[in-house]
Amino acid sequence: MQVQRTILWIVFSMSLLFLWDSWQKHNGKPSMFGGAPVAQAPKAADGKAPAKADGSVPSAPVASAPPGAAPAAGAAAVPGAAAAPAAQPALKVKSDVLALEIDPLGGQVRRAELLQHKAGHDANGKLTNDGVVLLRDDNVRKYVAQAGFIGAPAGSQFPTHLTQFTVADGARELAAGQPAVTVTLSAESGGLKLVRTFTLERGSYVVKMSDRIENVGEAPLKPALYMQLLRDNSKPEGESQFYSTYTGPVAYSDELKFHKVDFADIEKGKAELPKPAADGWVGLIQHYFVSAWIPADKAQREFYANKVDGCKGAADACYAIGIKQPLAELAPKASATVDSRLLIAPQDQHMLEKVAPGLDLTVDYGWLTVIAKPIFWLLQWLYALVQNWGWAIVLLTLVIKTAFFPLQAASYKSMARMKAVTPRLMQLRERYGDDRVKLNQAMMELYKEEKINPLGGCLPIVVQIPVFIALYWVLLASVEMRNAPWALWIHDLAAPDPYYVLPLIMAGTMFLQTKMNPTPPDPVQAKVMMFMPIIFSVMFFFFPSGLVLYWLVNNCYSIAQQWFITKKYAAEHPAKK
């Protein structure tokens, strides 16, 4: 009995260890099991790290200057930043799924609202009319999308995200039956004329940005387009203190694959970024949502990340992750068009994988992705049958538990054997007292006599651990759970049960399971096992209802399986005196 208890405690400890490791990696921390060494961030052509702005607006990324020219504009504070034009009203453009506010100063996207994803529920449990505001620039958060051109000759500057744009007249909202709405801004600086067009298509979370540039000077120009996302390192509103998901920059290339770039690594200048390539994108993710800059296909690009001081206030800092796309030399009077895309979207895997390679990986399941993706596919298939995510979770749990029934049965049979010999084990403990050697010898003889394998109940548990951890991440990371009702008072499977009914029922099922299991001969272990339901129920008070529902159904089905197997074993093997 002592051997089995020791093994079970090891399994339980390893489960917590793996969960902690998954949580660490989900938050961009290094794995406790090691990983690739962290590389230094790429440096600029002059050997210096990317510069920081001297004001509330970040500088453009460092760029290589043309031969014989002075350092690029982005290598220092942007000229004229202190004398920026007075603020003008934001340009508001709206489709059926996105509402954007674009600042004429620099053409920055300063606010983005996802209209189909409501911010929450009112006091009556009904969804509010307000959508989730992902990008914003206010006293709560700094989170904006910026783009511009660098590489101007010495003493001049191309249009950047600090240049004043002129807004063309036109429709600002998607009309009925209209496939898309387009807004146009223009600016001229440093001998480069820029006409920028933003297009929002019906039903699409992708904002198409088309930049038509023209060399209006007398000398050849070699501009480079930069696109960056700027954000402070604050957590999203409503983030739970009892579980956490990753918030921060990410990057993807075919070589490096999906990679998190933690705020702390950018702070230390140790951000690992993809090498220059003809593919890839950069983005920012938080629980359920993602934004990303995606350059044109097969266009050469360079990746960068830097810290920007004072972007919210005197003591605040933001972090930028971006892409620089060098362009071909532009002769006098010549023009060119550069297309790129800005994604502002929920983490819908099917939609993301159609936008660009690797975007579906922003739905991060950690090291168990290979298991989690088939589980999510099965969950979606069940939802298609019942049209309710809560009942889909119930059915998914039953399917997985049934699939593991042979392993579970072996574990319960082992527990039934142990429970049958528990009175005899207690007698041995009383007989030998503190003589551990004789007690262990007597216990091993008893196991041999009853043909009990002390490890018999452990292996099935170990095999199932990765599957249930993967299922945990599927339910935690899937945006489909957000604002999804189940039944009665459960209006949002991604939010805690408002009346704590599910956690309390789950605590009751855990207490019943404890009673059904063999009583540990060690009094301390017995007390710990009795307190476990209380500890877990308190923790689950603050977990999403979808997760609690999964554990509740899992416990109920486990109780039914264990009761059936234990009763069957007791009938076939009467207890010996």
pLDDT in tens, 156-183: 999 999 999 999 988 899 998 899 999 9
Pairing verdict, β 281-286 and 180-189: unpaired
Q: Tell me what pLDDT residue 200 has.
A: 96
**56 compared with 413, residue with greater pLDDT:** 413
Q: Tell me what pLDDT residue 38 has.
A: 32
Query: What is the pLDDT averaged over residues 127-139?
Result: 87
Query: What is the pLDDT averaged over residues 442-449?
Result: 72
**462 compared with 355, residue with greater pLDDT:** 355
Residue 363 gets which letter from DSSP? Answer: S
Q: Tell me what pLDDT residue 501 has.
A: 86
Q: Rounded distance, CA 421 to CA 446, Å?
A: 8
Give residues with Cβ within 8 angstroms of 436, minimum separation 6: none
Lowest mean pLDDT among 202-216, 400-414, 442-456, 558-572: 442-456
What HEC string does 317-333 produce?
EEEEEEEEEECCCECCC
pLDDT over threshold 90, residue 245 = no
Q: Tell me what pLDDT residue 28 has.
A: 45
Q: Rounded distance, CA 380 to CA 479, Å?
A: 12
Lowest mean pLDDT among 237-241, 475-479, 571-575: 571-575
CA angle 156, 161, 165 (to 5 degrees): 85
Q: What share of the chain is helix, strand, coil (3-state, %, to 5)?
A: 35, 25, 40
Bridge partners of 474? none
CA angle 247, 250, 254 (to 5 degrees): 155
Contact call for residues 308 and 54 (beta carbons, < 8 A): no
**Angle in degrees, 0-180, between the axes of helices 501-516 and 523-540, rounded to the nearest 10:** 160
**Nearest to 59, CA basis, from 72, 78, 45, 43:** 78
Q: Which of 2-16, 242-256, 323-337 has the highest mean pLDDT?
A: 323-337
To the nearest 10°, report the CA torsion of 448, 451, 452, 457.
Answer: 150
**18 compared with 69, residue with greater pLDDT:** 18
**Nearest to 207, CA basis, from 320, 362, 102, 90:** 102
Residue 391, judged by CB atoms within 10 A of its CB (0-12, 13-18, 19+), counts as: middle
Q: Which of 201-210, 308-317, 493-502 has the highest mean pLDDT?
A: 201-210
Bridge partners of 227? 147, 323
What is the pLDDT of the chain when averaged over all its residues?
78
Bridge partners of 258? 252
List, in order of start, the domains of the chain with CATH numbers: 2-24+376-572 (no CATH), 37-364 (2.70.98.90)
Lowest mean pLDDT among 13-27, 167-181, 312-326, 514-528: 13-27
Q: Rounded distance, CA 15 to CA 532, Å?
A: 15
Residue 234, judged by CB atoms within 10 A of its CB (0-12, 13-18, 19+), counts as: middle
**Could you count the other beta carbons within 10 Å of the beta carbon of residue 493?**
27
Residue 399 gets which letter from DSSP? Answer: H
Give residues with Cβ within 8 angstroms of 191, minimum separation 6: 152, 153, 156, 215, 216, 217, 218, 219, 221
pLDDT over threshold 90, residue 500 = no
Q: Rounded distance, CA 268 to CA 270, Å?
A: 5
pLDDT over threshold 50, residue 489 = yes
Phi, psi of 199 (to 5 degrees): -125, 125
Q: Tell me what pLDDT residue 285 has.
A: 95
**Could you count the other beta carbons within 10 Å of the beta carbon of residue 474?**
27
For residue 457, what pLDDT band results from cuts at 50, 70 and 90?
low
pLDDT over threshold 50, residue 76 = no
Q: Tell me what pLDDT residue 75 has.
A: 32
Q: Tell me what pLDDT residue 136 has.
A: 93
Pairing verdict, β 248-253 and 281-286: antiparallel
Q: Tell me what pLDDT residue 80 has.
A: 30
**14 compared with 38, residue with greater pLDDT:** 14
Q: Tell me what pLDDT residue 280 has.
A: 95
Q: Which of 121-135, 438-452, 470-484 has the highest mean pLDDT?
A: 470-484
Q: Tell me what pLDDT residue 190 has.
A: 93
**76 compared with 109, residue with greater pLDDT:** 109
Q: Rounded distance, CA 217 to CA 193, Å?
A: 9
Q: Tell me what pLDDT residue 431 has.
A: 76
Residue 136 token pair: 């914003």
Q: Rounded distance, CA 519 to CA 496, Å?
A: 33
Contact call for residues 279 and 470 (beta carbons, < 8 A): no
Query: What is the pLDDT averaged over residues 450-473?
Result: 70
Q: Rounded distance, CA 555 to CA 47, Å?
A: 59
For residue 129, what pLDDT band results from cuts at 50, 70 and 90?
confident
Give residues with Cβ within 8 angstroms of 197, minimum separation 6: 182, 183, 184, 185, 208, 209, 210, 211, 212
**Nearest to 160, CA basis, from 80, 86, 45, 260:** 80
Q: Tell me what pLDDT residue 322 has.
A: 97
For residue 67, what pLDDT band results from cuts at 50, 70 and 90?
very low
**363 compared with 83, residue with greater pLDDT:** 363
**199 compared with 408, residue with greater pLDDT:** 199
For residue 521, what pLDDT band results from cuts at 50, 70 and 90?
low
Lowest mean pLDDT among 153-162, 219-228, 487-496, 529-538: 529-538
For residue 426, what pLDDT band results from cuts at 50, 70 and 90?
confident
Residue 565 token pair: 């197997």
For residue 528, what pLDDT band results from cuts at 50, 70 and 90?
low
* CA 153 to mean position of chain CA atoms: 41
Pairing verdict, β 206-215 and 108-118: unpaired
pLDDT over threshold 50, residue 26 = no
Express each pLDDT in 291-300 by its tens digit: 999 999 999 9
**Nearest to 474, CA basis, from 540, 547, 542, 541:** 547
**375 compared with 425, residue with greater pLDDT:** 375
Q: Tell me what pLDDT residue 229 has.
A: 97
Express each pLDDT in 367-424 by its tens digit: 788 888 899 999 999 999 999 999 999 999 999 888 877 776 666 666 666 666 667 7
Contact call for residues 404 and 412 (beta carbons, < 8 A): no
Lowest mean pLDDT among 129-133, 162-166, 341-345, 450-454: 450-454
Q: Tell me what pLDDT residue 387 has.
A: 93
**70 compared with 252, residue with greater pLDDT:** 252
